[in-house]
Amino acid sequence: MDDLNKFQSEFVKNSCYRMDESFRMIRISLEKISEKQVWEKPNTSLNSIGNLVLHLCGNMTQYGITSLKGTDDLRERGIEFSTKGGLLKEELIKKLEVTVNEVKTCFQNVSIERLLVKKKVQGYNFSGIGNIIHVVEHFSYHTGQIAFWVKQITNEQLGFYDGQDLNIKNED
């Protein structure tokens, strides 16, 4: 395997790992709150957790699926934020899981050529690598917002790393 293929394989593997981690944390977070709390807004300038999950699905589809596959962009971003309910936690988790799995499949099947070619997405000109980085960091960013909001609601730790010693020092 040449160096470019090794790089692609390692980049995709780590990107998929980060996607799984964010999904895991959101799933844990949603399990801690009620159906009603999923759609509550802390104030008018913030979004509900339900809106954030819908937004993540829309953004990941736009950047991680349609842009990498070259299919039509049918995203309706405004709906992600204007929805005020109608989906249960289980439905939101399933929608997010399906989207994450499809995004990871796109990451795993993207060609080297598409990783390097720039394409406009949401007005920005990114390569496929740029789109993957955007998807991973955007997912992580909103995962942190959701975790913070759930901690604010419940006043309890979420236990993302229970059973793991996070004080272990780096090794070669």
CATH code for the structural domain at 3-154 = 1.20.120.450
- Expressed in percent and rounded to 5, the helix, strand and coil fractions of the chain are 65, 5, 30
DSSP state of 39: T
Q: What is the pLDDT of residue 1?
A: 63
> CB under 8 Å to 136, separation ≥6 — which residues?
15, 18, 19
Q: What is the pLDDT of residue 172?
A: 86
Q: What is the pLDDT of residue 18?
A: 98
Q: Which residues lie across from 121 on neighbouring strands?
A: 124
Q: What is the pLDDT of residue 10?
A: 95
pTM metric for this prediction: 0.94
Which pair of structure tokens corresponds to residue 34? 């009620």
DSSP state of 172: -
Taking the chain (172 residues) in consecutive chunks of 10 residues, what is each chunk's mean pLDDT?
87 98 98 97 92 97 95 90 92 98 97 92 94 98 97 95 92 88
Q: What is the pLDDT of residue 143?
A: 98
